[in-house]
Amino acid sequence: MDILKVMNQITASKIFKYTKYLLYTFIGFLLLLVVLEQFFVFNTSESVPMGIYKYKFDRNFVKNDIVTFTKDSSYDRFLPEKLGRYYIKKLVADEKSVVVIKNNHIYVDGDDYGLIYHNDFLPQLLTLPIKKDCFLALSKTKQSFDSRYYGQVCRKEIIKKAVLLHEYRK
């Protein structure tokens, strides 16, 4: 009987050590994810190349930068599911750009960015002015959730620049 008692204690000790190891591993993994989130973003949307992006800590945002930004949650109604805390898009127009809406298409400096599906936020004007320190974030991907829905992205809403490190394809 004493041998059984000793074996149970050894087994319980091993189980405790293994459980402790798993718990520490899990906590370490969560901490690693929190740290990685400060430096990298994973994009699964087709509106910019899908892949792993490294954040660039540069607050000088200009046209053609790929950036992450936030928008008011009222725009979530246009999405089938919440995609994450931030949006990642390319800034295609600034206050110097010529933005024209013609035949329900949006053009930036003569380049066609496609149909406007919900034009509640972009008025049906011939020319759309972009405010100072604001941009249009558009994609040529069909039905992209971009400035067609939520309008201009202002500098104060932009979190960070993102630079593509590794692209993955379907």
Q: What gap in Å lies between CA 148 and CA 165, rounded to an integer?
A: 28
pLDDT of residue 47: 87
From 84, 78, 95, select the one nearest 136 (Cα to Cα).
95
Q: What is the DSSP string of 141-166?
A: STT--SHHHH--EEGGGEEEEEEEEE
pTM of the complete model: 0.76
Q: pLDDT for 74-122, tens place per residue?
A: 777 766 665 566 889 999 999 999 998 887 888 999 999 998 876 555 5
168: left (phi over 0), alpha (psi -120 to 50) or beta: beta
From 159, 154, 161, 108, select the one nearest 134 (Cα to Cα).
154
Q: What Cα–Cα distance (Å) separates residue 32 from each residue in 28, 35, 36, 40, 105?
A: 6, 5, 6, 12, 44
Q: pLDDT for 32-88, tens place per residue?
A: 888 888 888 888 888 899 999 999 988 899 999 999 998 877 777 766 665 566 889
Q: What gap in Å lies between CA 105 and CA 113, rounded to an integer?
A: 7
